């Protein structure tokens, strides 16, 4: 009887733990599905003013061409890292000075002579030995960016800033990366979840690496094992790379007269309308417009568009904020 009660208690605890874990995975799955179906779209909050809730965000006329100062409002973590101006030129110069620009080809026979080897290494059971050297500045921390592509066998949802294992070259460490689009623009849109298809960039705090190195990301399981998530190569070590988080406030037209329309649900008070008046709005069908004035006290506003809109269209107000990786670094 005691054995039965003990077994029931253990089983109940296991079931409770699995239920909590399953609930967390279900929540993450729903968030990933919503982000895929309605990317960055969210409802304007009613319990707090939008000008306070989104005070760190800004509007951009064009995400591709509008300017953004990379030295503006930097976090305190940036005081701990180093930055190399013109990373590509410095890397090329250092590799040429060290002779690393002409590496030994794979399959070649190399004799390496090492002095002052401790006796403990001879007595160890390890049959392999990793030999490496560091170039100048490679012992310093910076913001590392790696270009990645999802592994075909990996289907788990990975959210930005989760604890992952990064393998860059010969070094391996636990980081909390953020994911962004791999584009040629000076600004890159944040991906809330690791993309399943296409290429993306993972950014995290890590030591500077000057050589062209392969990079892989792994998920750390509860039993301390790892599973491969994505593979790629080192892109750069540049703290000035701008990653922007986008949110989109949505509203719906209730009255339309030629190119003017009365929009509701976009805001909930007159002060928010006056605060976001300089920001350009757009619709899902490609129309662009500007806020003209507030109507009443319940957040209705009058917007003039470049062409007449449809009653079934949705008015969108995109806002952007720069985000940074979560400070976390430890060797694995």
Average pLDDT, rounded, for the chain? 85
pLDDT of 101:
58
Mean pLDDT over 248-252 rounds to 91
Of residues 11 and 47, the one with the higher pLDDT is 47
Q: Tens digit of pLDDT for each residue in 256-309? A: 999 999 999 899 999 999 999 999 999 999 999 999 999 988 889 999 999 999
Question: Which tops the pLDDT comparison, 85 or 261?
Answer: 261
Q: Please state, in angstroms and rounded to a whole number, the distance separating the CA atoms of residues 134 and 32.
A: 40
- Residue pair 215/233 in contact (Cβ under 8 Å)? The answer is yes
Structure confidence by residue, pLDDT tens digits, 167-210: 998 899 999 999 999 998 889 999 999 998 889 999 999 999 98
Give residues with Cβ within 8 angstroms of 77, minimum separation 6: 205, 324, 327
Residue 332 has pLDDT above 60, yes or no: yes
Q: Which residue has the higher pLDDT, 112 or 79?
A: 79
Query: In the structure encoding, which two tokens stand for residue 315, read together?
Result: 């008015």
Compute the distance between CA of residue 279 and CA of residue 271 in angstroms, rounded to an integer: 14
- Check whether 2 has a pLDDT greater than 60: no
User: Rounded CA gap, 258 and 261, in Å?
Assistant: 8
Residue 135 has pLDDT above 80, yes or no: yes
Residue with the larger pLDDT of the pair 227 and 92:
227
Mean pLDDT, range 153-157, rounded to an integer: 87
The tokens for 324 are: 């940074």
Answer whether 268's CB lies under 8 Å from 44's CB.
Answer: yes
Q: What is the mean pLDDT of residues 228-256?
A: 93
Is it the case that residue 150 has pLDDT exceeding 90? Answer: yes
> Residue 279, class by beta-carbon neighbours within 10 Å (0-12 exposed, 13-18 middle, 19+ buried)?
middle
pLDDT > 80? residue 36? no
Are 135 and 96 within 8 A, CB to CB? no
Q: What is the pTM of this model?
A: 0.81
């Amino acid at each position: 009887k005691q054995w039965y009660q003990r077994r029931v208690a253990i089983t109940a605890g296991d079931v409770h733990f699995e239920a909590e874990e399953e609930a967390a995975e279900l929540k993450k799955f729903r968030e990933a599905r919503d982000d895929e179906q309605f990317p960055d779209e969210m409802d304007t909050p009613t319990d707090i003013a939008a000008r306070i809730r989104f005070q760190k965000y800004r509007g951009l006329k064009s995400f591709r061409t509008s300017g953004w100062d990379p030295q503006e409002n930097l976090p305190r973590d940036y005081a701990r890292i180093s930055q190399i101006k013109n990373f590509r030129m410095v890397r090329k110069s250092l590799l040429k000075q060290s002779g690393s620009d002409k590496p030994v080809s794979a399959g070649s026979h190399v004799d390496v002579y090492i002095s002052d080897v401790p006796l403990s290494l001879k007595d160890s059971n390890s049959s392999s030995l990793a030999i490496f050297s560091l170039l100048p500045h490679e012992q310093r921390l910076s913001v590392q960016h790696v270009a990645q592509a999802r592994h075909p066998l990996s289907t788990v949802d990975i959210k930005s800033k989760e604890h992952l294992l990064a393998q860059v070259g010969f070094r391996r460490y636990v980081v909390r990366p953020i994911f962004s689009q791999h584009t040629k623009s000076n600004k890159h849109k944040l991906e809330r979840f690791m993309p399943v298809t296409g290429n993306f960039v993972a950014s995290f705090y890590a030591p500077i690496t000057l050589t062209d190195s392969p990079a892989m990301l792994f998920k750390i399981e509860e039993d301390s094992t790892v599973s491969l998530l994505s593979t790629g190569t080192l892109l750069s070590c540049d703290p000035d790379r701008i990653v922007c988080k986008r949110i989109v406030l949505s509203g719906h037209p209730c009255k339309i007269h030629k190119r003017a329309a009365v929009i509701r649900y976009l805001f909930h008070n007159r002060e928010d309308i006056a605060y976001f008046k300089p920001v350009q709005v757009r619709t899902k069908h490609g129309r662009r417009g500007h806020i003209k004035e507030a109507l009443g006290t319940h957040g209705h506003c009058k917007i003039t568009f470049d062409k007449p809109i449809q009653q079934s269209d949705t008015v969108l107000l995109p806002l952007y904020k720069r985000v940074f990786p979560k400070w976390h670094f430890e060797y694995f």
